Amino acid sequence: MEELRGKTLVELEALVQRAGFQGYRARQIHQWLYRRDARSFDEMSNIPADLRSWLASQYQIGGVKIEEILRDADGAQKILFGLNDGLRVEGVLMPKEHRWTLCISSQAGCSLDCRFCLTGKIKLRRNLTAAEIIDQVQSVRREILKNQPITNLVFMGMGEPLLNMDNLIPALRLLTAPDAVGIPTRRITVSTAGIIPGIRALAAARTGVNLAVSLGAPNDKTRSALMPINKKYPLAELIKACREFPLENRRHITFEYTLLKDVNDSEEDLRRLIQLVSSIRCKINLLCFNEDDRLPFKASPPETVERFRSHLDAKGFNVAVRYSMGRGIKGACGQLAANYL
């Protein structure tokens, strides 16, 4: 059955009128779907019973269910979302100073096979619909946060968001619209492994959200070994697309660099990294790798991480070290869902 969530106000108006009801009902339904996070038509108390039962005969809402929550001592919560067809995807909710960052998925599995990522081992099952993307946010807001707002939203869970543009863009429009979910654009970040046509399409769609790019390595040889997508979209072209990505005032592109021992953490790698991104208004996140027996890498030692951080800082870069939250609860992308899929 078709999902009602994911429809815009204009689409809701058309379907309500087609069914013989007054157009203003669409705005009420829109509010129930996006402001009040309704999980069933029965909750829509100001909608006439005959319209509710017509909606229930044609549409469903609530295509995502929270099936499992693992809580770590550091406050992170790993969430397993069940989809209507039995597939599962992951999210992570991370607290920081009374704020909440939610990481969500855009696909079930992933086709890109980045070597340092467990999701890449799962293989792509399918794209998530716009409704399923939005529903991850709403189910967390409603069921875990008890209607507290989500401060930041990042697309860094399972899947490559820029290979699911047909659903990502409508979802972003509803997530950011003030009369829908209403998360400010500056608080949303879409992360890519480097899909150049997707970066350009995201720029053209003018959603206003932030872009993060997973760099992996500062040269094509190592990057292609770590992230096979680099063979199709090599570094020079990727950096060019990043340079052309429109940035509002005081915004930047975030480059994610996962430090892997003896793979991408040499002096030469650091020098090349600086060279590569120096022409772009950017922030660099140095990610400490979350080791897993199923992946053939070790995390760079703390002194190496600090060497990268201090050099980048001295060169004037906005740099941060990110320790992945939820290490005790399979916090890295794909670690929980990999047990199921």
Which region, judged by CB under 6 A, interacts with ligand SF4, from 4-12, 156-164, 267-275, 303-311? 156-164
DSSP code, position 299: B
90 is catalytic: yes
Nearer to ligand SF4, 34 or 155 (CB): 155
Q: Are 160 and 117 in contact (CB under 8 A)?
A: no
Type of residue numbered 96: K
Kindly state the smallest distance separating residue 117's Cβ from ligand SF4, in Å. 3
Applying CB under 6 A, which of residues 63, 159, 170, 331 lies at the interface with ligand SF4? 159
Phi, then psi, of 287 in degrees rounded to 5:
-100, 130
SS3 of 46-82: the string is: CCCHHHHHHHHHHEECCCEEEEEEEECCCCCEEEEEE
Nearer to ligand SF4, 35 or 322 (CB): 322
Tell me which of 110, 114, 282, 333 is the catalytic residue.
Answer: 333
Tell me which of 3, 13, 90, 132 is the catalytic residue.
Answer: 90
Applying CB under 6 A, which of residues 38, 158, 174, 286 lies at the interface with ligand SF4? 158
In DSSP terms, 210 is beta-bridged to 189
Kindly state the smallest distance separating residue 111's Cβ from ligand SF4, in Å. 7
H or E segment and range at residue 152: strand 152-155
Please tell me the count of residues contacting ligand SF4 according to CB under 6 A.
12
Q: Is 238 helix (H, G, I), strand (E, B) or coil?
A: helix
User: Residue 130 interacts with ligand SF4 (CB under 6 A)?
Assistant: no
Contacts of 270 (CB under 8 A, 6+ apart): 307, 308, 311, 312
Q: What is d(CA 43, CA 65) in angstroms, rounded to the nearest whole number?
A: 17
Applying CB under 6 A, which of residues 37, 135, 160, 265 lies at the interface with ligand SF4? 160
Nearer to ligand SF4, 55 or 154 (CB): 154
Applying CB under 6 A, which of residues 94, 104, 110, 174 lies at the interface with ligand SF4? 110
103 is catalytic: no
User: Residue 120 interacts with ligand SF4 (CB under 6 A)?
Assistant: yes
Nearer to ligand SF4, 105 or 152 (CB): 105
Q: What is d(CA 49, CA 258) in angstroms, rounded to the nearest whole number?
A: 53
Pick from 156, 178, 166: which is nearest to 285 by CA? 156
Which region, judged by CB under 6 A, interacts with ligand SF4, from 1-9, 110-118, 242-250, 274-282? 110-118
Distance of CA 291 to the CA centre of its chain: 21
User: Residue 164 interacts with ligand SF4 (CB under 6 A)?
Assistant: no
Nearer to ligand SF4, 51 or 112 (CB): 112
Tokens of 80: 């397993």
Applying CB under 6 A, which of residues 117, 175, 239, 241 lies at the interface with ligand SF4? 117
Nearer to ligand SF4, 139 or 290 (CB): 290
Applying CB under 6 A, which of residues 79, 112, 226, 337 lies at the interface with ligand SF4? 112
Binding marks (x or -) toward ligand SF4, 188..217, rule CB under 6 A? Answer: -----x------------------------
- Taking 3-state DSSP, the helix, strand and coil percentages for the chain, each rounded to the nearest 5, stand at 40, 20, 40
Type of residue numbered 337: A
Using CB under 6 A, which residues numbered 297 to 336 contact ligand SF4? 333
Distance of CA 266 to the CA centre of its chain: 30
Neighbours of 254 (CB within 10 A): 19
Give the binding site for ligand SF4 (CB under 6 A): 110, 112-114, 117, 119-120, 158-160, 193, 333
